[in-house]
Structure 1
């Protein structure tokens, strides 16, 4: 019985490629710049790594490493093979990850900032769970941006310009920012008719590293008002803390409409003045390319579009 065309291709491919064991040893040694560390990573002896690389070099007919005193360096040919081997192994790893993910396609891992998760996502996400009870949700809340290419996050909801290298971004909505406080505080101080009057109040702020996030200095500057050098407002580590301080009558905070609208409707916060500023950036859902085909990702993105409209 003869070989098929597909069988011939496999045979030819195997003839062209070096043994996988040797290639694995070489990739580890090249990446770690050490036979010893490669041996430890692969769970073999250093002699085994040296032997596999020696077989590769005999097969190629030229050295892949320069053996120096207490270190190794890739030759020019070794560098080319290292890049190709690394790319190939990474591609295989990504496919394996995706195949495993398909088995647990009912689990969805979402990344969001603490404030967005607390004030916008969690109050609404029960509607998604009710419509799609088969999807298990996992929400990771942290203000530090995570690289989605290196983890198990399926999608992220981010505030910014929409330009990120680790995923495809789709805008959900823009926002506007205005002063807010508790109803009790507003009643006690009376109406605030102009933005310059705000400097006489304790201005609650939060520490945010994101340059696109608007603070009191930028907000007041839009009305040609400077922040007092010796302000008497509370300074918080997180935006959520600033909002709770405002709800408890500690002073005036900046309210991001999409985050505080529910609290205003519940009369837990009120707008202190009608002055507001449209944000320069917006909220986006960001999905890594390798997660675009995942069914639960597509369901959640569609739900986000509906509730954001």
Structure 2
């Protein structure tokens, strides 16, 4: 087998070609590479002589790729992209920074109350928690790992299921004093039901939850409406009414007797919580340690 050095064209020529093919301009490629337009033209001409075929169509005031040029452009773009990703991963792997993205509710009620245990185990790792409901672009390198609720079918990521969830009504202990502890779903409709605005189609709201138990609703539900789930939970903690508790999010509050569950009715939502990492990025030691801790820590919750 021939060595790669003998099979590959000169790297300088390939870099000039990749820039010119991406920008469709010898002049702009020269500006990007910090060389003259004549130097770029010479490099590409040398490639065309090596291959024995044209890579560009030279038109009046512009260039376009030939079919062969398009094939080489796709190959060089992919190859340089992989090298750039590997270099970025190696640089990231040389430090102990870790950026974690989770929804506002998951960060607030599940992750942040537990993350100190990870920091105690790995004090040299600097954590950055990004609380955002929108899904981050993991392929851009700004986020190392994300935790999201869904069905595991996000594109261009490796998704590993963390756990499922359970949804049931909750209220404050003081509010519960005036209620039947075995309050059936059909009686909830006459109580103040706290809800929030959710853009996620997988999120279960009151109408869907009640409908699952055969309770139909007409018109607007009685009770406070909040912008975010965290606000709905704090309104519930302050005795404003009843909201739907997602067990993984409110379990600690129930254990602390700050919230109480009403009745036995519960609904298992579709999907679950997933840990997402970029599909083609090498995992740093800090990320591997976080993944290990994450799956160990949920076993008791």
TM over 0.5: yes
Range moving further from structure 2, 43-52 or 112-121: 43-52
Task: Indicate if the aligned counterparts of 1:181 and 1:272 stay in contact, CA closer than 8 A.
Answer: yes
Deviation for aligned residue 1:143:
0.9
Normalising by structure 2, we get a TM-score of: 0.88
**Residue in 2 aligned with 1:22?**
13
Q: What is the alpha-carbon root mean square deviation over aligned residues?
A: 2.5
Runs of 4+ in 1 over 6 A off after TM superposition: none
Which sections of structure 2, spanning at least 5 residues, go unmatched?
Answer: none
Q: Secondary structure at the match of 1:137?
A: strand
Deviation for aligned residue 1:66:
2.4
- CA gap of 1:273–1:36, structure 2 versus 1, over 3 A, is farther
The total of aligned residue pairs comes to 299
**Residue in 1 aligned with 2:71?**
80
Deviation for aligned residue 1:211:
2.3
Deviation sequence 1:68-106 (CA, Å, 0-9, x none)? 4554332110111011101110111122112212211x2
Q: Secondary structure at the match of 2:154?
A: coil
Q: Secondary structure at the match of 2:44?
A: helix
- CA gap of 1:292–1:28, structure 2 versus 1, over 3 A, is closer
> In the aligned structure 2, how far is the partner of 1:148 from the partner of 1:60?
38
Which sections of structure 1, spanning at least 5 residues, go unmatched?
Answer: none
Alignment pair present for 1:163 and 2:137: no
Q: Secondary structure at the match of 2:189?
A: helix
Normalising by structure 1, we get a TM-score of: 0.86
Deviation for aligned residue 1:177:
0.3
Q: Secondary structure at the match of 1:59?
A: helix
Deviation sequence 1:145-196 (CA, Å, 0-9, x none)? 1232221422222211123333322222111001122233333455562212
> In the aligned structure 1, how far is the partner of 2:204 from the partner of 2:239?
22
